[in-house]
A and B are shown apart, each in its own frame.
Chain A
Amino acid sequence: MYRLTGVTKRYTRGKETVEALRGVDLTIADGDQLVIQGPTGGGKSTLLQMIGGLDRPTEGSVELDGVDLARIGETRLTRVRAENIGIIFQSFNLIPTLTAQENVETALVPLGVKPAERRERAAEALRSVGLGERLGHAPSEMSGGQQQRVAIARALVKKPKVLLADEPTGNLDEGTRDDIMALLEGLWREHGLTFVMVTHDSSIARRAPRLATIAAGRLTLTEQQPYGVGAYDGQIAH
């Protein structure tokens, strides 16, 4: 359960100050899905960083299950990220020198999981995203869609409460996009994750149960009727 209150983020560079978020209030229930949309530079990624504990707001609080991520110390915040938050990125962010399996293992390193168990869980996670045959491949030996699957396996291998995604399909073609979205939908339901996703893609945004639009740092919420379960499994209606 997330509760964001009056979240403001200012970036200061020299004399210039950019207000990326202006007093954002937001509540996300456990197991909810929220899609964030908006013009470029509107503050989508900034908001996602606040939710994921990757950065702290200048003002306001970001409570996850009653713990204010804006106030806790660096060590605790790191721990929260390691245990509770799975994150995937537009450009996959795999470690280029590590194999698929090793990349997934990196998520278990801060949790102190023993190497043998780490390898087993990583292999299992890769199988669950359909990459059971690609454990030893380097990122450069895989397609964009496969790389994003590795990233999804890495985000979920630790069994987090929250899954965050910043334009996860931004670098993929349409067919691959649908595959990935279907995979994410399935995993979200299967694991009961709280799922927050930033996207530019209006066809994805259209079917989200809950849509937030953020422009110039201000957030507006729209509740909408989703197209229905398994929408990504078939053709996307326009």
Chain B
Amino acid sequence: MTTLDREPALQRLHEMVRMRRFEEKTAELYSDGKIRGFLHLYVGEEAIAAGLMPLLGAQDNVVSTYREHGHALARGVTARAVMAEMFGRVDGCSRGRGGSMHLFSTAHRFWGGNAIVAGGLPLAVGLALADAMRGRSAVTVCFFGDGAVAEGEFHESLNLAALWRLPVLFACENNQYAMGTALERYAAQPDPCRKAEALGVPARRVDGMDVEAVSQASAELIAAVREGQGPRFVEFATYRFRAHSMFDAQLYRSKDEVERWRERDPIASFEARLRQRGWIDDAARAAIDAAVASEVDDAVAFADASPWEPVEQLLRDVTTPRAAP
């Protein structure tokens, strides 16, 4: 495997730490009641967004799920805008209307956290269709969980993308569970790559706990998609360290299993690798922590200072305002 150069490697580490600290803060804020509704954390899965997202350009599209804080941050949506959204404030990236599960930023071609499992896949096919029809060389990356592979929309969307040779990278974050149901307990064929292949989409399995593996594989896949070779499917094998959402007693998995995966923590393992290479020392690591802590504190302060939308505006943004005739 080719490794990342020093600078990009340090950036990836920084990005993963940033996502982790941001989300750990949101869990605290949830207990404080600042953040409400459903909150699905990406803790453990950071290497995927950190490895893949920097490979995309401004013209590319990203479609995501309700577990999308890391995707949004890595795509460039500011920590302030994401935090304010989770607070429900008017300066949030969706004006507070969406919350944790519905982060949108058209400026980043970030087409939303979708909380209907597999709901984003057809959307990604359409975004890619538009690019193909307009002759743009953009790529659409569509993130979804392993659970989404069981939905009809997965099968329908992959078929359509393959049939029309559309520039989509279907990125399956296989964290081994759909809520509390383990992959082997809901899928007769537990290998999602074989399903993708059956639908005519070349597929590849990648270690989603290793940011360099993610980065290298994603670069190759994105290049193939961009060249017009049609869609690709990638399964990132990963694990969520925390509960599915804040309302989950985790009756369905053992602490041992969680511990075994935690030993492969994408941040700790990458940091150890960088230390071996002599690219990072205690001081540099502490500097990352300090930078991230101050960015997160700033985001919280920003979100807390952002106003609530006045109730008088309740009915706005249901339909598009028409220009006066």
Asked if A pairs with B, the answer is no
Q: Which residues of A pack against B, CB within 8 Å? A: none
